[in-house]
Amino acid sequence: MSNYDVVDLIIAKRDGHRLTDDQIKWFIGTYAAGDVIADEQAAAMAMAIFFQGMENEELNVWTTAMIESGARLDLGNSGRPTVDKHSTGGVGDKITLILAPLVVACGVAVPQLSGRGLGHTGGTLDKLEAISGWQPFVDNESMRAQLRDVGGFIAGATSDLAPADRKMYRLRDVTGTVDSIPLIASSIMSKKIAEGAEGLVLDVKTGSGAFMQEFDQAVKLARTMVDIGNANGVNTRALVTNMDTVLGDAAGNAVEVQESLDVLAGGGPADTIEITLALAREMLDVAGIDIDPEPFLSDGSAMEVFEKMIAAQGGDLSVPLPVATERHIVTAERSGYLKRLDARGVGIAAWRLGAGRARQEDPVSPIAGVVCHAKEGAKLSEGDPILELHLDDVDRLPRALEALQGAIQIGDHPVEPSALILDRVV
């Protein structure tokens, strides 16, 4: 591989030129190695990509170089088709906790590497850590054993998967270059492809509580990621789903685990069930399995798998989930119909209560969160409960209530809840 002057590459991309395959491989490999390319130069490249974008083939090479900067996870032979799922994140998005064991119960191996929350969107690992004893990080051999013996796992990603992306992401977070479709797509897909699953189903959220708030941009991101996955031999498809309001009835950590257990027991909110089943059907279709997943929720099969998955990583579901020491009810200021329950406002409230973090190293409270007593379309009388705020530090309450100003809108006329599934990209 040739050596290049990194400034020449930055200028080329700044001026809208396509980087050659060899230039991309050199840039990513050299930056990951930690020498020659300084952080400020990598940040300049990210900003150039932010403004100029990348051609499809250029982005595929960039993503492959990200993958090749580290190891690929060897999943071994589970005897089943392997399909993963990724969500771009939202408020109340506990779907992975239900979906993974459900799809395993249907005969698919699910290797699910997840992350922590940042800002108003929750993280799967933070939620599961509300379960007594559960450990998020397991070694590769344990992952393979659990995939073989239980059929799936939910775990934290190891540091050797796409390390170049980890370095680039830290820079993007502090340089205003997070909101770039090529950089988002390559970041997500480099890690997912490195996991080694045969198929991947993406849940791309759009709306006020989503990372990608505009529908057209969400579809573009979904299309970009699907194309990258398929170009790398991973059968990939995406659903674009609504994140204008809270998904389910809970946003937080322990409260979302409890809602997940309710769904796995055959109950739970209708919207949580709808999204779970839609994604399950896509994962089963990718795996070539033609069965209806819905009965596997009601007959206890998915719950049995979830219990095994949790126990395999040290978790004990017989220990009660932690509960809030303080609760505050937000009530309807007048009678009418709940016209809007803004996802971002509720998510920021949960974050300020302690359920989320501002920096990756910040701790989170397992009990903090928000429980919805009413959702969009509900008929309300003055004083009816709408939200229940869970917290263990009353000093956090005022700022959480500030986040809800304007998030709750009550109208005079009935409203229909918005559609949950907005598009499908294959």
Catalytic choice (69, 87, 114, 187): 187
CB atoms within 10 A of CB 148: 15
Catalytic choice (127, 172, 237, 344): 172
User: How many angstroms separate the CA atoms of 3 and 21, rounded?
Assistant: 13
Q: Which of 317, 256, 263 is nearest to 293 (CA)?
A: 263
172 is catalytic: yes
Catalytic choice (94, 116, 191, 344): 191
The contacts of residue 49 (CB under 8 Å, 6+ apart) are 13, 177, 180, 182, 183
191 is catalytic: yes
Identity of residue 167: K
Three-class DSSP category at 341? strand
User: How many angstroms separate the CA atoms of 101 and 124, rounded?
Assistant: 14
Strands 421-425 and 385-391: unpaired
What is the separation of C-alpha 415 from the centre of its chain, rounded to a whole number of angstroms? 29
User: How many angstroms separate the CA atoms of 277 and 267, rounded?
Assistant: 13
165 is catalytic: yes
Sign of CA dihedral 166, 167, 170, 175: negative
φ, ψ (nearest 5 deg) of residue 175: -125, 10
379 is catalytic: no
Angle subtended by helix axes 181-195 and 163-175, to nearest 10:
150
167 is catalytic: no
Three-class DSSP category at 148? helix
Catalytic choice (80, 85, 86, 192): 86
The contacts of residue 16 (CB under 8 Å, 6+ apart) are 52
Catalytic choice (165, 203, 244, 271): 165
Catalytic residues: 86, 165, 172, 187, 191
